[in-house]
């Protein structure tokens, strides 16, 4: 599934490449005539999570380099084998002057956050064991020193009220390995048997 998603992203990027690479022209008042203003972003920092490692690592990179940006990718240290493979493949197939991968844990991440970036993108989870709410605050604090714009995707939980949606979110999407995958069901004691029967029925149909 992750390969298919990335393939679609690459196809879209290839189709829209000229548009995305163009400088972002900004409107000016008559006072600035005949001047013009365009925004062209440079290096983007991307911090990545463990679920959907390939998609959440590479998909933002596709968009960034398609728009003419350089990228420094810091994969999650809890998946060292996947991180090493990403570093090897990106170095092999992409220009290292445009895309670099940095491995490491807290020390390396702290040093990276001390640098000035044009954009920081972080994807993680709000789960207590993952600590991404805390990490998100650390990133925002570091970025504020340089007024760096930040995108934080901190996961969380998606409420579901129908059995079919529960099954789709829990088992259909990456076999449940997603931060938004439902982990538990809230129901009444009297209604629980009906939910279980419906789950069995939908799972068999699924």
Catalytic residues: 153
DSSP letters, 97-133, are TTEEE---SHHHHHHHHTS--SEEEEE----TTTTHH
The closest of 158, 176, 156, 154 to 167, measured between CA atoms, is 176
Q: Phi, psi at residue 202, to the nearest 5°?
A: -70, -35
175 membership: H or E segment, kind and range: none
The Cα–Cα gap between 14 and 175 comes to 30
DSSP structural state of residue 172: I
């Amino acid at each position: 599934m992750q390969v298919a998603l990335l393939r679609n992203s690459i196809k879209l990027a290839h189709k829209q490449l000229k548009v995305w690479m163009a400088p972002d022209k900004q409107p000016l008042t008559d006072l600035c005539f005949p001047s013009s203003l365009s925004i062209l972003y440079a290096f983007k920092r991307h911090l990545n999570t463990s679920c959907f490692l390939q998609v959440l690592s590479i998909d933002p990179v596709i968009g960034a380099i398609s728009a003419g940006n350089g990228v420094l990718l810091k994969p999650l240290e809890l998946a060292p084998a996947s991180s090493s493979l990403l570093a090897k493949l990106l170095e092999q197939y992409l220009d290292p002057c445009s895309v670099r991968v940095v491995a490491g844990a807290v020390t390396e991440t702290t040093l990276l956050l001390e640098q000035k970036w044009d954009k920081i993108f972080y994807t993680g989870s709000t789960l207590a064991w993952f600590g991404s709410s805390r990490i998100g605050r650390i990133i925002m604090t570091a970025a504020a020193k340089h007024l760096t714009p930040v995108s934080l995707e901190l996961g969380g939980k998606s409420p579901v009220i129908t059995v079919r949606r529960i099954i789709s979110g829990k088992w259909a999407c990456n076999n449940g390995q997603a931060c938004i995958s439902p982990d538990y069901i809230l129901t009444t004691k009297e209604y629980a048997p009906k939910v279980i029967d419906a789950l069995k029925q939908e799972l068999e149909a699924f």
